[in-house]
Amino acid sequence: MLRMPSCLLKLTRVVLSHKPCALFILIFVFVSFAYIKLYWGIEEDPKSHGPTYSLSAEIGCAHYVPSPLDTAGGPSPSTGNVFFVETSEQTSPSYLFSCSVESAARSHPTSRVVVLMKGLAKGNASLPKHWAFSLLSCFPNVEIQPLDLTEFFSGTPLAQWFQQPQRQQEPHFLHVLSDACRIVLMWKFGGIYLDTDFIVLKNLQNLTNALGIQDDNELNGAFLSFKAKHKFMELCMQDFVQNYNGWVWGHQGPGLLTRVFKKWCSLETIKSMSCRGVSALAREVVYPIPWQNWKKLFEAVTVLELQELLKSTYAVHIWNKLSHETKLEIPSQALLAQLYSQFCPATYAKMKQD
């Protein structure tokens, strides 16, 4: 409670014995004093000065963040980071984006989950106001950072490629840019990379120097896990520049990884295997639903069917490029709805609320 200074108390005694207009002046002075004290108190609160892109929690977190009991008995602590990258100017995350980050944060409680976003300007103190940023602030291991692409590509074979302005006129530039970012990210920093249309079911840290098979003929880079400065990622950067073709869909993504892995292992066709320290994971590990069958995500499944389907699965790719316009009933027994419910319950609660 604010305490009135002694000078104001004396003034009060004087005013009460004089005209009513003087009483009005006293009330005005007191209210002004109280307002100034309150204003100064807010401005001087050290909690109001957060770090760069601090996440402000406007959503109650009590039921969102996993407690220590939820993570007990899990994998040993790891310092490997989990990365997501947004190469467009988008700063209004979708439900799926939020679910991807939330599910990764829940399944990797001892790892930093870093979201790099090109649309965020460097130096700002707070994120744009959006429910997803507020929700993700409930997870202490989630960090959202601006992505400076010139700085990011510096010191790599892709630096000169990025500086060529005509690249931005290519029809698949944003996707090619994403392909470039993930291989540079793995080479520079190592850790785990995930597209923002994954739902993570299990801790991925034991899948080291690995990528996934999406079908019988091709690998996919939506999931990557490599140690920093790995030779395989160095070869990927070299192939990116030497065999560049931004006009063919997937040439710099799945096509590139498939080309390099075949050379790495001296293969004619892709198969689940490990050679020279790099593993091509079986399709069910991270791509249990083939892109050709993406509609299965919106079909009802029983709990037993779900358990059987995901028995050997670490993460599920949602194929957002194909599925984003399909309406998902919430709540429902659809496979995708059940994945939301179990692995990103905070996002799921927001979906139900909306």
Residue 352 lies in a domain: no
Say if pTM beats, i.e. exceeds, 0.95.
no
Taking the CB of residue 188, how many other CB atoms lie within 10 A of it?
Answer: 16
Q: Are the C-beta atoms of residues 307 and 201 closer than 8 Å to each other?
A: no
- Residue 126: its pLDDT value, please? 83
What is each CA distance from 167 to 118, 154, 182, in whole angstroms? 17, 17, 18
Residue 161 lies in a domain: yes
Q: Are the C-beta atoms of residues 85 and 179 closer than 8 Å to each other?
A: no
Q: Which domain holds residue 258?
A: 79-282
Round the average pLDDT of the chain to a whole number and report it: 84
pLDDT at 215 over 70: yes
In this prediction, residue 65 has a pLDDT band, given cuts at 50, 70 and 90, of low
Residue 271 lies in a domain: yes
Residue 332 lies in a domain: no
pLDDT at 44 over 90: no
Residue 102 lies in a domain: yes
Average pLDDT score over residue span 217-237: 97
Residue 216 lies in a domain: yes
pLDDT at 24 over 90: no
Q: How many domains does the chain have?
A: 1
Question: What CATH number has the domain bearing residue 94?
Answer: 3.90.550.20
Residue 333 lies in a domain: no
Of 337 and 48, more confident:
337
Q: What is the pLDDT of residues 147-171, one digit of tens each?
A: 999 999 999 999 999 999 888 889 9
Q: What is the pLDDT of residues 284-332, one digit of tens each?
A: 999 999 999 999 999 999 999 999 999 999 999 999 999 999 999 999 9
Of 38 and 325, more confident:
325
Residue 209 lies in a domain: yes
In this prediction, residue 38 has a pLDDT band, given cuts at 50, 70 and 90, of very low
Q: Are the C-beta atoms of residues 247 and 174 closer than 8 Å to each other?
A: no
Q: Are the C-beta atoms of residues 350 and 96 closer than 8 Å to each other?
A: no
Q: Which of 48-62, 182-196, 243-257 has the lowest mean pLDDT?
A: 48-62
Cα atoms in the Cβ-side hemisphere of radius 13 Å centred on 149: 22
pLDDT at 339 over 90: yes
Task: Report residue 306 as tokens.
Answer: 């779900």
Residues 6+ apart with CB under 8 A from 89: 118, 119
Burial 127-144 (b: 16+ CB within 10 A, else e): beeebbbbbbbbbebbbb
